[in-house]
Amino acid sequence: MEYHYAQFLDGHGSVATDVGGKASSLDRLVADGFPVPRAAVITARAYRSFVRDAALEPFLKELREGPPPPADQIVADRERVEAEFLAAPMAADLEEEILGLVGEFLAIGPIAARSSATAEDMVNASFAGQYETFLGLTAPDEALDAVRRCWASLWSPQVRSYRRREGIGEDDLAMAVIIQSMADASWAGVLFTRDPQGSALDIKVEAVPGLGDDLVSGRVTPHGFLIDRATLVIRSRGDRSRLGFLEDLARLALRIENRAGAPQDIEWAMTRKGIQILQARPITVARPLAIHDDGFDTRVGGSDEYTPRGISEMLPGVVPPLLWSINAPMLEDAFRSLFDAIGVSGVAEHRRIIGRFRGRATLNLSVLREAAVSLPGGSAAEVERQYLGRALDPDGDESEASSGNLFKRAAAAFRNWRANRVLADEVRLVTHAVHGIAELDINLAKLPARRLLRYRARIRDLAWRIYATEVAASSAAAAAYRALEVQIGRWLGDAEGVLWAQRLTAGTLAESSVGAGRVNRLKDIYQRHVADTPALQAALTSGRPDRRERIAALGARGEAFLEEVDLCVRAFGAQAVYGGRTWNEDLLGVWNQLSAFARPGDREPGVDSEQSLAELIELLKQSRRWQFKRIITGQLIDMRLRMLRRMVDEATLYLRCREEAKSALLVLGGTERAVIFEMANRLTASGHLAYSGDVELFSDGELEQMLLGAEPVFSQELERRRRALNRAKDAGPLPEVFQGDPDQRTAEVVQSGPVMQGWAASPGVVRAKARVLTSLEEGTTLEPGEIIVAHSTDPSWTPLFLVAGGIVLEEGGPLSHAAIVAREFGLPAVLNVKDATRSITTGEELLIDGSSGAIRRIPARESADA
């Protein structure tokens, strides 16, 4: 039969103004090859013909122009509209065509009639649940009445009110009706590709046995599931054992979302033929994201306080989705493993330790405080000093520190000893394993996709272990270093304790420190190849973009130098973040670092720790108080000196363990980076990626699924993520401490004045011009001898320390990258200087004292006179 008022939804194209939004969406699904039950649509032309021939326009005009009915009249008004449509006469040719169409479907089995309005499921408005749907129709007359009722639902009182509230015009509205074979469903339900009430990173599924109308009507409580969009890991509050198809359903839904270009609300059914899609519409009620939230941020709110301090070196700056989804789970697990080892795991239950706000990593300061208080002798103030450089309430009562009985203190001490005693062995083990992987030299391009992913999984397993080792070593190093400060402070005063702890550990990390160790290896290559070769030195320091070619042209000596540099740089791995940018991607920084060795240096050499220990012992022996205590305690052998040496050795050991674990993690991160590049190249070749550089906009799970053939994330979503990350970068660093939402912090007055005070991180005095750097990329403007003024640094900044005359940072503690490298290089440094980047300007002359922490801003007149 040829139809004038109807058409089959066979994927050959349809226009929403003819068939309505819902039918047009179904037709696109069919065209894209998705499983949709056989369907046809009675078009909007049929509705308009019916309204015209039945003379319903005056009645509809009354509805359009009249006020909405009061609440107690809504049901009566709806019944009145329905009665008008049921009683209106229908032209014989239209009725014959509708009955003919439904007859074709009824010959196969029961059918459904679904409304499909021409103003439905727009980007900014959804009519979900407001128009009529009729299921299980078995008779022609029953189906004909269902069509009339669908037409009438276009003018129900609730729909009219919604259109007016959303500002949707009511001229030329029409209603098409979908006729669809009923799905013989064992399960049915709805799926949101982004959870409207929860995390935008989750898929939400609600399922009921049998037909989905039980869910819509509320007669049955649904089984609820949340599915991680990236990993497809399923969390449920229902019985998932009978729903083995959930992962396939999620994959199918993500494909539909990608084709549609927007998050989708999908009705589905599980039948004997498999999963069937009944309809799909855009989600218009999803939780709005902040302008700088790419969808991977922690949800704001709650009473916990967060701080970026202490984690900004591990995950510096704005961390893109790929690096966040790789690193955050490992770092979270590392902290939880530490909490388990020291017996305080309960404080972090059902709470996140690692957060992300405006794209930047944070630590849950509230959890850290509670963990400290749970330990005998621990205090919240001590945690604040460790991460913030000071107690937030300096006048607070230190007696709030947890004391515990003798047994509890002994048990805590034993747990710490047990957790720390194997650290050195663990570091040696993982370092050996990392170098073994690095030496495999696998041709990644020849590995099939699944073998490539298995290789990556082996790498990642080791990375989880190294992260746990690094966090444990960091905790042990911080405790041992602080104990050394406190003990010396008891003998000589707090200020002296801080300075002597710096001197006693300086110079001991030349090889193990991530930054200094890399510099020293390059310096060794320079000394052996360049120092005594003027031609090679001239080519290296020329600053020309063709430096490499000029060095290669020098013959065997130049080639040998380049080969050793290349091997060394490849061995360095990632610059600062596991899986992140490698030194191989920043060869300009490597050349500048090598060139810096050619400059004559007038910098004081770094402090010698052995000499410092000898000086401290001599100072203590000359103290009358020291001598008197030894006499009255009858010590023939001064046990205090033995204790001092042991404490220095212990602090140095754990600091080395931390630096070696970090170095191993970054070397392994370079191996993971190679896998990421291989995946990006394959996805670019397959058309999943338009540009390989966009790989960091995807999550780890999305990347893996695409490599296995899943649909790519739609381009609009990628562009939204890109814009959000750029806005996050423009928003600048997070507040030092904030509760719930960093954007709710009130603006603070910028520190000013001729003298600024910070934390003395590395001794020495220098007077020079300031260079304010807001990113590593700006480091190319740094002139030799200038004082770096920045928010914070990480290992990737180390080459700049060779050029700088001093360091001033807004963040950093005694064991931060800047503090350790500055002491190794003999570079004066002052950290924790509030508002340094906002109050100091480039070109301004500063006098910094790394022993007292004072920064004097030289007036322009005095600077000119000098």
pLDDT digit string, tens, across residues 507-549: 666 555 666 677 788 888 888 888 888 888 888 887 777 888 8
The residue-averaged pLDDT of 128-135 equals 77
Cross-strand partners of 268: 189, 277
Q: Could you tell me the pLDDT band of residue 70, with boundaries at 50, 70 and 90? A: confident
Chain-centroid distance of CA 657 in Å reads 27
129, 162, 181 — which closes off a domain? 181
Rounded distance between C-alpha atoms, residue 761 and residue 660, angstroms:
21
Point out the least confidently predicted range of 136-145, 276-285, 676-685, 797-806. Answer: 276-285
pLDDT of residue 126: 45
The residue-averaged pLDDT of 307-330 equals 92
700, 721, 744 — which closes off a domain? 744
pLDDT at 840 over 60: yes
Q: What is the CATH number of the domain that holds 16?
A: 3.30.1490.20
pLDDT of residue 590: 82
Quote the domain boundaries for residue 553. 514-596
pLDDT at 105 over 60: yes
pLDDT of residue 284: 60
pLDDT at 815 over 50: yes
- Tell me the pLDDT of the chain averaged across its residues: 84
pLDDT at 747 over 70: no
Rounded distance between C-alpha atoms, residue 631 and residue 634, angstroms:
5
What does the CA dihedral 516, 518, 523, 524 come to, rounded to 10 degrees? 110
181, 214, 248 — which closes off a domain? 181
Rounded distance between C-alpha atoms, residue 151 and residue 60, angstroms:
12
What is the Rg, in whole angstroms, of the alpha carbon atoms belonging to the chain? 35
Same domain, yes or no: 127 and 147: yes
Q: Could you tell me the pLDDT band of residue 220, with boundaries at 50, 70 and 90? A: low
Same domain, yes or no: 13 and 135: yes
Q: Could you tell me the pLDDT band of residue 601, with boundaries at 50, 70 and 90? A: low
Residue 695 lies in a domain: no
Same domain, yes or no: 150 and 90: yes
The residue-averaged pLDDT of 683-689 equals 88
Report CA-CA distances (Å) from 347 to 51, 333, 335, 356, 377. Answer: 67, 14, 12, 20, 17
Same domain, yes or no: 493 and 526: no
pLDDT of residue 796: 83
- What residue type is 649 in one-letter code? D
pLDDT of residue 290: 63
Spell out the long-range contacts of 94-99 with Cβ–Cβ below 8 A and sequence spacing 24 or more. 94/5, 94/46, 94/49, 94/50, 94/53, 95/144, 97/1, 97/3, 97/4, 97/5, 97/6, 97/46, 98/5, 98/6, 98/42, 98/46, 98/143, 98/144, 98/147, 99/140, 99/143, 99/144
Same domain, yes or no: 29 and 147: yes
Same domain, yes or no: 90 and 71: yes
Same domain, yes or no: 309 and 349: yes
Rounded distance between C-alpha atoms, residue 508 and residue 667, angstroms:
21
- pLDDT tens, residue by residue, 345-368: 788 887 889 999 999 999 999 998
Point out the least confidently predicted range of 43-52, 317-326, 395-404. Answer: 395-404
- What are the helix and strand counts (H, E) for the chain? 30, 23
- pLDDT tens, residue by residue, 108-124: 999 999 999 886 544 33
- pLDDT tens, residue by residue, 375-391: 766 777 777 777 776 66
Same domain, yes or no: 40 and 52: yes
Q: Are strands 39-42 and 6-8 parallel, antiparallel or unpaired?
A: antiparallel
Spell out the long-range contacts of 331-336 with Cβ–Cβ below 8 A and sequence spacing 24 or more. 331/467, 331/471, 333/464, 333/467, 333/468, 334/464, 334/467, 334/468, 334/470, 334/471, 334/472, 335/471
Helix, strand, coil percentages for the chain (3-state, nearest 5): 50, 15, 35
Nearest to 562 by CA among 592, 581, 540, 578: 540
The residue-averaged pLDDT of 298-326 equals 89
Which residue did the predictor score with more confidence, 218 or 12? 12
pLDDT > 90: percent of the chain: 35
What is the total count of domains within the chain?
A: 6
pTM of the predicted structure, to 2 decimals: 0.72
pLDDT of residue 246: 92
pLDDT of residue 858: 92
Kindly state the tokens that stand for 120: 């439905």
Rounded distance between C-alpha atoms, residue 75 and residue 77, angstroms:
5
Same domain, yes or no: 41 and 57: yes
pLDDT of residue 756: 92
